[in-house]
Amino acid sequence: MVTVDHLVKDYGTLRAVDGVSFTINKGDILGFLGPNGAGKSTTMKMITGFLTPTSGTVTVDGLDVSKNPIEVKRQIGYLPESSAAYPEMTVVEFLTYVAEARGIRDPEELNSRLADVIVNCHLDSVKYRAIENLSKGYRQRVGVAQAIIHDPKVLILDEPTDGLDPNQKHEVRKLIQAMSKDKAIVLSTHILEEVEAICNRVIIIDQGKVLVDETPAEFKARIPGASIDEVFRDLTKGSALA
């Protein structure tokens, strides 16, 4: 579904991403990990077409992101780390705006999509409230809702459970798992237990390079008896923790 091939991103003399390559298949929930400044967000922004790579390619469902940016964006749902929204809009107004921008204008389809994401993201109790008056947890759920409203084939989620309480985290994880049956999902998170709970693959990136690409079980087996946090710290020692 997604192929990242020798991706490089330079900012002047700083190489933020250095020859990253991997593939993501339908059904994958890929835990994308690394210390702060490792190149995770930059890589995800290049996959979505938000940033242009210095070199290398990304293809989504057979389409080159650089050559077919609009077509690729139709296939992707993206939740950035700081999900932007119009604070004066209500939840329903904002999600309607996003859906229409995504080309969903038939009233019946629009109402159906809105109803689905409001239920799945547990937004019914706040759907007529202005986003600026919502808690951080509810704003995060609005961010997840806008990422999935057009039923994309690929989901790029940067810290999707940030700010949620344990029950809300559990619900979002269940939603991600349910959606993974017919999607390819990239999940960047600081919560390493989340990777163990729902991901079937782990990639660790450090100083712009891929260190690990394996299953969570293989990753934990690197240090028998250790937690996933301990293995991560051992691999990335010397770097700031993610």
Spell out the domains of the chain, with CATH numbers in brackets: 17-235 (3.40.50.300)
| DSSP 8-state assignment for residue 125 | G
CB of 64 closer than 8 Å to CB of 57: yes
| DSSP 8-state assignment for residue 225 | T
Q: pLDDT, tens digit, for every residue of 175-234?
A: 899 888 889 999 998 888 889 889 999 999 999 999 999 999 999 999 998 888 899 989
Element (H, E) at 202: strand 201-206
User: How distant is the alpha carbon of residue 119 from its chain centre?
Assistant: 20
pLDDT band at 238 (very low <50, low <70, confident <90, very high): low
Q: How far apart are CA 5 and CA 69, in angstroms?
A: 17
Q: Mean of the per-residue pLDDT values for the chain?
A: 91
Predicted local distance difference test score (pLDDT) of residue 84: 74
Q: How far apart are CA 115 and CA 225, in angstroms?
A: 45
Please report, rounded to a whole number, the percentage of residues in the chain having pLDDT higher than 70: 98
Strand partners, 60: 2, 63
| DSSP 8-state assignment for residue 180 | G
SS3 35: coil
Say if residue 242's pLDDT is above 60. no
Q: pLDDT, tens digit, for every residue of 14-55?
A: 999 999 999 999 999 999 999 988 999 999 999 999 999 999
CB of 123 closer than 8 Å to CB of 91: yes
Q: How far apart are CA 152 and CA 65, in angstroms?
A: 15
Q: How far apart are CA 196 and CA 192, in angstroms?
A: 7
Q: pLDDT, tens digit, for every residue of 108-119?
A: 999 999 999 999
Structure tokens at 26: 């339908």
Task: Tell me the residue type at 164.
Answer: L
